[in-house]
Each structure stands twice: as structure tokens, then as C-alpha cells.
Amino acid sequence: MKRIYILIISLFYMGLVPVMAQYSDLHHLSQTPDITTYQPPPTLDSSPVCAGSTIDVPFTSTGAYNALNIYYAELIDSIGKTAKIDTIGTFINNADYTYPPADIEGLIPLTVSTGCHYYVSVICTTPGKVYAEWGPFCIQHCDILSNEEQNIKACVQSCAKQINGYSDTINYKTHEFDSHVQYKAGNKFEVQLIGYSLSPVSFTILNTGLFGVVTDTTSGKMLLHVPCSDTLNKYGIGAGLYYARIIADSSSFPDSALGTLVHISIGEPADSMYLTVYPSPGPYCVGTFINITAHPDNIGQGSAYTWWETDKTHGIYTFAGVATNPINLYPQGADTFVITCQENSFGCLGNKASLPDPIISIGPPDVIKTGPTTICLSDTGVYAVQIDSNTSYTWRVYGKSYFSAINNILKVKFATAGVYRISVEASNQCFSDSSVWMVHVLSDSLCTASVENINTLQRVSAYPNPSNGQFTFVIASEVRPSLSRIDVYNIFGEKVYSQFSTFNSPLSINISNQPSGIYLYRVITETGDLLGQGKLVIQK
């Protein structure tokens, strides 16, 4: 099966994630699992974390993990002799994470009690349970439930293509815990956007009210509006994953003015993109370095790029997501395929772009040969190799004849008996290869002699003859010896088969491993008497 082996070089634009010294000295020193849990970003807020909030728990891990390993995050209430434990997030993965740290997205249950004695812990399940805690931190009951604990995804493009940006309706629910909270007349419920990172851990309020604001004193709905990317970038907000919550600006209890946290992802795929290939144009010889680059009109921070090879024979093959730096292809066989790329900006997909022309790779020509190595003088020999596109063929017959033809098939009739050398050279714009036949041309007198003519003793017969190499021998019953031997020779006198037999019944032999041609056989008794001889013809 033909296949294209592909080397992919990937770079992700991680400008928001600087390298931290606290992670740089972590190394994969041991196969024993080891996990470190770090501070979740929401715990850096000036107020306790609201129950019902999304929370990201960062961690690093080293060691070897089994295929079905599960990382999961726990929330631990350490009051009393026994801890109350809630699993708040999981994912199945057997990778280890040294730098940058990974994170598990969790959800703090609405049912937990308020307090400042909570810990978070990341645990692996295989090959053995290993865990590490971080804490303590505080959890409070907040009066506002943001968007029913549902995350938000907003896809925006340039203002030239999407002048109105992205809009959706989100919910806010008051009195989730305390019906005594009052919101004064003129109170505004506003969407607050919060940026965060895992290394170093940060939690920064970026904007309040830009994405949505409504004047109200009770539960309701709000229009969430994310401006088009040009306007959004003026506020210092780009594509990325953020926290968001709904807050109130006029609450009777200031500690209840905050809403629960949800994730909001903002994607900014480019308006357009095209692909280029170097060197250009093809076709390309197998093993050639081919460089393909994606050119979006705007390089999105944190975007990943998925590539497809669409093969007319094998279907579609998807590469791992890579950034806009070039991908390098090294074709390892003859093939024709189309390359397509698509940007993924935090779950928001851009338009697919394809190379205008397919990639054509040319491999060595196929010179698997067919044709007889032994023929009769009066016969026409047919010699061939598999035909390949854009390939020329040069034939030569050494001896008394010479041929040259741009064709994958040669038909030749020899003038005299003898041994001839036939060769064919197949060439394309990249490679050439050749095959050779040594052909033995027998005189007509030898070829036309029947088994009966050669078998002067007339006591042995073989059938079918010609055959593909499987023959059955029969000896006349009146002269059938107790033991005899059958020998088969090629035209050079080399013995290619020998077997003893009692000949109590017809004897079958198989010499199909020999090439097509003419062979001679002899049947001799155990005392050395010749019972018969003849010609065998193998035709495949």
C-alpha cells in the first residue's frame, strides 16, 4: 500500500504563558508517578470562590501511567476526623505533564457549605493512586447564578466581515442562597470578564460591562454581545479562554454582589487563508522535501491548524493540529493527494483552504517482469513489465537482434536457436530501473518432437502436458517395477527434481517452482533399466 510519511513541526503562540522557575526544574527522573497540585486561579480573587463556579485545577506530573489512567480533581472539606470529598472534574490520559502545567476543569458543587477549610487535589488512578493537595482556600454562597453554570463560546471575526460581532442570550438567577438580598432601584447586572493563566497563576479583571449590561432587580435574561475582533482588540482582549461572571453594582449585601464563574472562550479565526508549496510546481520525486505553508490574513493567538491529506486511493488522513509554521512532507511512494488546512481558534473554525493543485509524487518505475525464458524457434516471445504513467521503455535483445521501443511490452521472434539476453530499461523524470531475461531458444526439431517421439520405449506417459508445473506419470501395467526413480532436468542438464516411487498408482509431481520452459524427464528402475524418457512443457 502506498503511503506518505509526514514530519510535522508545530509551534503554538503562547504569549500569555511565560516560563516559571518553579516549573523549569521538573524533570522526568523516575517512572514512579508523582503529581504536584498548584493554586487554582479563582482562589486569587479578593473574595472567596462562589459555590457553583467553574474552577481550573493546575498540576504537573511525572512518571509512567497506564493506558486507562484517569486524572481527576477532588474538592476536600477537611473539617472533622473524616474529610468530605467531591470529585469535581476528570479526564482520561496516560501522558505526563512537566511544563507547561496541565489543568482539570472542575465545577464546585452548589451544595457545599461555606468555609475556609477547603483543599483541591489532583489524583491519578493507574498504575497506583497518587495524589497531592493544595489549600486551604475559602468558598462562599453567592446570590447570583451566572448562566445556569453553563460555559459560553463566542466566535468573532474582523469588523469588515462581521460588523455586529457575536450575540447570544444568557441567564442570571438571583436569590440562589439568600432570599433576603435586595437589589436597589437602578441596579445593573453586568458581565465581568476575567483573564487568567496557570504559569504564573493569575486572575485579573479585564472588563466589566463591555459584553453585557442590564438594569434590573431580580432574575432575568441578558444579551451577551462580544464585539467584532478589531473593536475587541482595542480593549486588549483577544482570542483565548477566560472566566466570566455576572455581578451586581447595587446589592444590599456587598459579599453577595458576585455571580458564579463560568468559562467563556473567544475565538477569532482569520477571515481568509491560502496555502503555498515549495518547491513549486511539481511533480515531485519520492524523497523530495516538500514545504507547505498556511497564510491566514490574521495569525490568531493560540490558534491550532488541522491539516488533511485527501488521497484519491486511500481516502482522508488527518494530521495533528499545528500552527502556521510550515509542515514538511517527505513522500515515500508514488501517490496523488490534495492538502487542505483549517484554523481552529478556541473551538471556532475558519474556512478550509486547499492547495490549488494536487501534490503528485513519482516513485521508481515498476519492472516486475513476465515472459518465457525457454521458447521454440518458431514461437513469438512476449515480454512485459507493468506500465506506469509518464514512463518510457527501452528494449534490447543481444545476440542477432536489437529492438528499441517506447512500450512496456516487447514481442520478438528469433531467427536462430541459441541463448539471448533481453533487457528493458524503464525511465521517468525521477528514476530508472531495469530487468533482464536470459532466453533459451530451442530448435523446431526439439520443440516439435512429441513425448511419444522422444519416449522411444513407449512405456511412460505424462499428463497434462503442457501444464503449469504439475504433472501425473503413468507406467504401463505390464512392466510396472517394484521401485523406480523419476528425474527431471532443465535444458542445461541440471537436475531440478528427483523422486523414488513404487508406481502402484499414477504418480503426481509438482515443479511449478521452476520457470516456464521445456524440461526432460527419465524414469529408471532400481536395477538401472531405463523405462522411459520424454519432454515436459511448463506454461504459466
Q: Which pLDDT belongs to residue 163?
A: 93
Q: Which pLDDT belongs to residue 263?
A: 97
CA dist 333 and 144 (Å) reads: 62
Q: Which pLDDT belongs to residue 492?
A: 64
Count of H-run helices and E-run strands, the chain: 4, 41
Is it true that 145-267 and 369-445 share their CATH fold? Answer: yes
Omega prior to 279 cis, within 30 of 0: yes
Confidence of residue 478 (pLDDT cuts 50, 70, 90): low
Q: Which pLDDT belongs to residue 90?
A: 93
Q: Cell for 332?
A: 515515500
Sole residue written with cell 512485459:
384
Q: Cell for 210?
A: 463591555
CA dist 17 and 532 (Å) reads: 91
Please, which residues have CB within 8 angstroms of residue 311's CB and are 6 or more apart in sequence?
Answer: 4, 317, 335, 336, 337
CA dist 98 and 24 (Å) reads: 8
Please, which residues have CB within 8 angstroms of residue 453's CB and are 6 or more apart in sequence?
Answer: none
Nearest to 468 by CA among 535, 519, 540, 521: 540
pLDDT value at 36 more than 70: yes
CA dist 442 and 377 (Å) reads: 6
Q: Cell for 251?
A: 446589592
Average pLDDT of 480-506? 77
Highest CATH level, class, for 145-267? mainly beta
Domain 4-8+274-360: give its CATH code: 2.60.40.10
Nearest to 441 by CA among 489, 493, 495, 373: 373
Q: Which pLDDT belongs to residue 9?
A: 38
Q: In the chain, where are the structural domains located?
A: 4-8+274-360, 31-140, 145-267, 369-445, 449-538
Host H or E run for residue 496 = strand 495-501
- pLDDT by residue (tens digit) across 351-369? 999 999 999 999 999 888 8
- C-alpha pair distances (Å), 55 with each of 43, 146, 196: 9, 14, 11
Q: Which pLDDT belongs to residue 451?
A: 37
CATH superfamily of 369-445: Immunoglobulins (2.60.40.10)
pLDDT value at 5 more than 50: no
Q: Measured in whole angstroms, how far is the alpha carbon of residue 320 from the centre of its chain?
A: 7
Average pLDDT of 298-313? 80
Confidence of residue 371 (pLDDT cuts 50, 70, 90): confident
pLDDT value at 137 more than 90: yes
Percentage of the residues of the chain whose pLDDT score is greater than 90: 42
Integer Rg of the chain from CA: 41
Mean pLDDT of all residues belonging to the chain: 83
Nearest to 508 by CA among 486, 532, 482: 486
Average pLDDT of 69-76? 92
Q: Are 376 and 491 in contact (CB under 8 A)?
A: no
pLDDT value at 24 more than 50: no
Q: Which pLDDT belongs to residue 8?
A: 39
Confidence of residue 273 (pLDDT cuts 50, 70, 90): very high
Fold of domain 449-538: Immunoglobulin-like (2.60.40)
Host H or E run for residue 398 = strand 392-398
Q: Which pLDDT belongs to residue 416?
A: 84
Q: Which pLDDT belongs to residue 511?
A: 93
Please, which residues have CB within 8 angstroms of residue 35's CB and are 6 or more apart in sequence?
Answer: 59, 60, 61, 122, 123, 124, 130, 131, 132
* 3-class state of residue 447 by DSSP: helix
CA dist 534 and 466 (Å) reads: 12
Average pLDDT of 443-460? 54
The verdict on domain 31-140 having CATH code 2.60.40.150 is yes
Letter for the amino acid at 371?
G
